Amino acid sequence: MLVITDKSVNDLNPLFYQNQDQNKESLASKNNIKEYAMVHSTNFFPKNNQILCNYDGNKVGKSIVQYHGIKKEVKSLSHRHTVHFTLNNIVESTGDGLGTWEQPEYIVVEPFYIHQKQFVNYAVNDYYVSGDNYTWGSVDLEKPYYLVREDALDKIPKGEIEKGNIIIYQGDAGVCLRRFLKMLDYPVFGYEENDATHSNSSEMDQEMATEFRDLAVNYLQNNSFDGKEKRKFSLHEIKEILDILYENHKIIYSILNDDVVREKIQQLNISEDFFNIIVGSGIKMSKDGDFYFDTDQNIYEEICNNSKVNLANLKIVWNAYNSLQIKEEPKTFALGDINKKTIADIFLFENFGMCQTFFEQIEALLLRLSNSLQQLGVFPDPYISEDGFYLNIAFNVMFDWKYDTIKIASAQDTLEFAYANTLKYLNNIGYTLENNTQNYSRGSMNISYLLFVIAIIALGIIMSFVFLTY
């Protein structure tokens, strides 16, 4: 098995850093895709020679969502259909700061020309620098090489090693990758880490809009929606989904990008926000009056080309939404009547009124303690999840901000316990921080006094020097 190390020779600089005249000689044309290698860094070995996008890999995340003041941590399927590559170099970090890839476990190298038609975005500028290049959909590799960090070889699933060419790399990933590219007679390009192409793309709009939609659905339906299944929704449910999206400012404003379509929806008296949220969420109305979500592919195509949006269907949804009477507020309860209920009970949207009552009591407690907590620089923010009740805490001690998440009660604990434990925790943290702050202040006073004494001594020396001079 071939081993590449970063110790044998000097690093190979990208063409970007070399003389531009030499660039033209070494690379016949920057559009010569036969000299492009697509490079993908990952900590997951591609099974069956396939790099899965997040959507196909069923990646699930969690976020805090608020509705009528109640914050819940809910799940959402990742609707990212893109797979990201660099060209003829390695990614070191992502422009959004969310990913760092200095020493990935696996680096995939594949000839670009095989997959050129699948790429939504790729580019190499005149200085031989390339940024974020990505496909739409998972990628089936045909002629892959896998550079494997030496400590990750044992993590490759059995039966996968013989499906691709495995090369062990030792040392700096960037140096090893560039050395390997030269072994394959590929030129080395520069890499632009701040490329914001994907962040401002229709692909990102589709991804964000559908993920926001799923968060709203799972707030209402107790994390039961997997983001893919075909499910029917009533008009009341659609209204609540839209209300949650509005309340959390989860509207993608760049979806309406066609001036002709903009003029048409204005003539239909449909707001642009409504267009963005309905098209981005893929909300459609069936002939029997139920609502459903369109496929991600159709949503993406409508975002890319607004003229594909069925404005007649959109107008029907608009009229139905506006004709709906405001739903009655959920019934509230006295805390004493529900204090034996568990956190798991009030997480269910069916018990939203109970949840609201509990949160009102917690908010009243926080308000009662607010003066003391704020003086100590403690700012708690409650939320509920499937597995318990939490406080997000922001601490500000001597202008130094710190953040923590504290689990106050588990899913099976009662509301009575959760309330009492919240009070106990806040009292304890207040006592601890007050003592720490006093100790810090005493230390600061001691240092200040010492500096004052030193300053007086220094002033005395200076005055003595001046006196002796004269």
Q: How far apart are CA 181 and CA 179, in angstroms?
A: 5
| C-alpha–C-alpha distance, residues 73 and 385, integer Å | 5
Q: Residue 136's beta-bridge partner residues?
A: 82
Q: Identify whether 407 is part of a domain.
A: yes
Residue where a domain stops, chosen among 298, 323, 348: 323
User: Encoding tokens for residue 291?
Assistant: 């609502």
What are the start-end ranges of the H helices in 52-140? none
Element containing residue 259 per DSSP (H, E): helix 259-267
Q: Report the distance separating Cα 147 and Cα 140, nearest Å.
A: 18
Q: What is the pLDDT of residue 4?
A: 87
Secondary structure class of 85 (helix, strand, coil): strand
Same domain, 52 and 161: yes
Q: Which two tokens stand for residue 176?
A: 């090893």
Same domain, 286 and 163: no
Please check whether residues 83 and 157 belong to one and the same domain.
yes
The answer to whether residue 437 sits within a structural domain is yes
DSSP assignment of 163-222, as one string? GSEEEEEES-HHHHHHHHHHHTT----EE-TT--TGGGSHHHHHHHHHHHHHHHHHHHTT
User: 133 with 112, same domain?
Assistant: yes
Domain-terminating residue out of 275, 293, 323: 323
Domain presence at residue 261: yes
Give yes or no for a contact between 89 and 178, defined as CB atoms under 8 angstroms apart. yes
- Assess whether 280 and 398 both reside in one domain: no
Same domain, 206 and 176: no
Residue 453 located in a structural domain: no
pLDDT in tens, 447-457: 445 555 566 66
Please give the pLDDT value at position 17: 38
> 378: domain range?
335-446
CB 252 within 8 A of CB 206: no
Regions of the chain where pLDDT drops below 70:
8-31, 93-101, 325-330, 430-470
182-200 b/e with 16+ CB inside 10 Å = b? eeeebbbbbbbeebebbee
Segment 212-271, tens digit of pLDDT:
999 999 999 999 999 999 999 999 999 999 999 999 888 777 899 999 999 999 999 999
Tell which phi-psi region holds residue 430, choosing left (phi > 0), alpha (psi between -120 and 50) or beta.
alpha
- Residue 211 shares a structural domain with residue 294: yes
Residue 238 CB coordination number (10 Å): 22
Q: Measured between alpha carbons, how far is residue 301 from residues 219, 308, 448 in Å?
A: 27, 8, 66
Say if 460 falls within a structural domain.
no
Cα–Cα distance for residue pair 396/375, rounded to 1 Å: 10
The pLDDT of residue 7 is: 74
The total number of structural domains in the chain stands at 3
What pLDDT is stored for residue 442 in this prediction? Answer: 39
Element (H, E) at 64: strand 60-67
Give residue 332's pLDDT. 74
How confident is the model at residue 437, as a pLDDT?
45
Is 454 among the domain residues?
no
Hey, what's the torsion of the CAs at 152, 46, 60, 119, to 10 degrees? 130
**Contact in structure between 108 and 40 (CB atoms under 8 Å):** yes
User: Are residue 94 and residue 158 in the same domain, yes or no?
Assistant: yes
Tell how many helices (H) and how many strands (E) occur in the chain. 12, 19
Residue 441 lies in a domain: yes
Sign for the CA dihedral angle at 447, 452, 457, 458 comes to positive
Q: Are residues 211 and 240 in the same domain?
A: yes
How far is CA 76 from each of CA 136, 179, 245, rounded to the nearest angstrom?
Answer: 20, 40, 14
Is the same domain home to 225 and 316? yes
Domain for residue 168, yes or no?
Answer: yes
| In a shared domain, residues 364 and 420 | yes
Q: Are residues 238 and 189 in the same domain?
A: no
Residue 71 in 3-state DSSP?
strand
The encoded tokens of residue 304 equal 């890319």
Domain limit, last residue, from 295, 323, 351: 323
Q: How far apart are CA 62 and CA 73, in angstroms?
A: 6
